[in-house]
Amino acid sequence: MHIRLLLLTLLVAARPATVRAQSPADPPALYLGTAWYPEQWPESRWDADLALMEQAHVRFVRITEFAWSRIEPSEGHFDLDWVDHAIRAAERHHIAVVLGTPGAAPPAWLTQTYPETLRTEANGRKDQHGNREQFNFTSAKYRDLLRRVTEQMSTRFGHDPDVIGWQIDNEIGSESFDDGTRAQFQQWLKAHYGTLDNLNTRWTTSYWSETYTDWSQVPIEEGYGNPGLLLSWKRFVSDTWRSYCQLHIAAIRAHADKRQWITTNMMGWFDAYDHYTVAQDLDLASWDDYVGTGHLDPVRNGATHDLTRGFLGKNFWVMETQPGFVNWSKDNNALDKGEVRAMAWHDIGHGADAVSYWQWRSALNGQEEYHGTLIGPDGTPVPLYAEVRQIGEEFAKAGPALAGTSVHSEVAILHSYESRWAVNWQRHNQAFDPVDNLISYYGPLRQLVHSVDIVPPSASLTRYKLVVAPALNLLKPAEAENLRRYVEAGGHLVLGQRSGMKNEDNGLDPNRQPGPLTDLLGGRVEQYYALTTPAPYSGTWGSGEGPIWAEQLSAKPGTEVLMRYGKSNGWLDDEPAAITRMVGKGRITYIGVSLDPATMAKAAQWMVTDASVATPFSQLPEGVDLYIRSSDRSSGARTVYILINFGKEPTSITLPKSMHDVLGGKDVNTVSLERYGVSVLEQ
């Protein structure tokens, strides 16, 4: 009997991962995760770490994204057995695995043997081994080596039942300025423009004798240069990162189950490339959510969640978030007790289906020794561990209620990387930050309607009653037509200052702002002014002062003036500051002045009321944030409300109707919330 048991044990141990039947429990609706680096610790330690994760209801770990030197210790010699051991160890604790492709940290043998794979910085200096993202993203040799290691991983683990997904690289975004990259950029230009005559015409290169007579003359320029050149470089960078991700996707998909999704972890408002371009080939959008110095700003952080949700128009994952504090900020203060839990539920409220902490345990050396963790270097829990365990317990409890739910919005804000780049290259007023400008609209709108999508101007807009486009500076013909159709079909479009100024080559539109939408608006911008002293205004939304930017508008008969300037610089005096026009059942509005917060709040109320947008829970105590997730209405309406108190004092909320308290397990009519308190309610 003992011999038979021994033989059975040996047979089970010998089964390859591809036919392993056991897997973690059914996938949860909400995943709690952490970044784990088994290569940094002896295998004898792994089970102790994983047992602590299991106790905290951690349901997945991300591994291997920095482990190339362990996976391929010398060229062509691969060691994936330790990865299999790590996956099997996680399996024993009912923890799934996300595998990271290791391109972010090439091994020393690679960069020494193939120095051409190192990126060249803008100043001409070659990057060196010893940090991360030091590779040249256009290098054919680097891509070939990366394809090979990715194929080795996907061949081994593409059918592993415990591997649920793949993360491409880690926080991509460092360009290279070497001669080979410049040559590829020039080829990209040739494919895009066809002829030099076409490029010269569209870039107006007669200015400053910039005319090119050979493709090889075109430089790389990032900061100050011809606007057409600047924009083309960014488009090339975006396309190059897309092809970089496509390389990984092809290498994985050739060997992996379709159920294994593929993502790459992005970085919020980071704009080194167009995220819409790169994200379109992914199965899942994800981002790394860090506060840094200070405390969570639910408005700005919430807008970043909504931006990420808009990359693919569906729920997303938070692949990294800070466990208390970071190490890279000027002042690395810790989040308050309870704030990490509130932040996790804030993520879920905006459409995240997973929250993962970076990292599980500090490495004993390396550049991020001081970064926050869930357990200390001695392997025992830090104080925050108990709070994360509470989050895990609550995710498990609330998962069934939130399963199949997502965010459904009637209001959208349009966001364009190309418009942001165009403004940032020529701000005209250094205080005009396009992200701050967008959030100045987002904050008061979300406070009223509790759900706002952030989408590109090319997105389908038919589901929205109200669409707001702050500083949509660069407007392509297809995007302009999309907005025109939206208004003519009955939507309300609000354009913010600096909209419709540039064409698709980042040149000035020969029409005054808002360019191709001027006839639809029945008015235009006569002149724009960067302000050094605030411009007063008054009208439908009360009175106030615009501190940054003001545009003198004109209005044709049939276009209503909503706001006018007071006495200002003479040019603006008594001129229209905001105008609106009905177009059939729709409406188009143009706001030519940067509104102060009080006036913006009134303008937002006017927009929401005019567009007949529903405002549930309209009366909430100051500091309380509301999030709404619901199931697809075609399968029967089911709505979950999440309330979080970010205010400094405890508060109570009377509900519009009786609801089920998911975390408390009872029906309630009122909710009491301590500071950073959370309530999950099912209707």
DSSP β-ladder status, 453-455 and 411-414: parallel
User: How far is 191 from 189, CA to CA, in rounded Å?
Assistant: 5
Tell me phi and psi for residue 495, to 5 degrees.
Answer: -100, 135
- Quick check: 241 and 172 in contact, CB under 8 A? yes
Residue the block writes with tokens 């969570």: 296
CA distances from 484 to 371, 458, 501, 637 (A): 49, 12, 16, 32
Choice among 65, 175, 320, 575 that is catalytic: 320
Q: Which conformational region is residue 95 in: left (phi greater than 0), alpha (psi within -120 to 50 degrees), or beta?
A: beta
C-alpha atoms less than 13 angstroms from C-alpha of 345 in its C-beta half-sphere? 33
171 is catalytic: yes
**Could you tell me the two tokens for 536?**
């007063």
- CB neighbour class for 502 (10 Å; exposed up to 12, middle 13-18, buried from 19): buried
User: How far is 3 from 406, CA to CA, in rounded Å?
Assistant: 54
Straight-line distance from the first to the last Cα atom of the chain, in angstroms, rounded to the nearest whole number: 57
DSSP-derived letter for residue 167 is E
* Counts of helices then strands in the chain (DSSP H, E): 18, 26
3-state class (DSSP) for residue 217: helix
Bridge partners (DSSP) of residue 574 are: none
Choice among 65, 72, 91, 171 that is catalytic: 171
Q: Using CA atoms of 119, 122, 127, 131 in order, give the dihedral in degrees to the nearest 10.
A: -100
**Could you tell me the two tokens for 620?**
């909430």
Q: Using CA atoms of 400, 401, 402, 404 in order, give the dihedral in degrees to the nearest 10.
A: 70
Q: Check whether the bond before 430 is cis (ω within 30° of 0).
A: no
Of 497, 512, 385, 353, which is closest to residue 431 (Cα–Cα)? 497
C-alpha atoms less than 13 angstroms from C-alpha of 279 in its C-beta half-sphere? 24
Please give the helix or strand (H or E) that residue 391 lies within, else none.
Answer: helix 384-402
Q: Which amino acids are annotated catalytic?
A: 171, 320
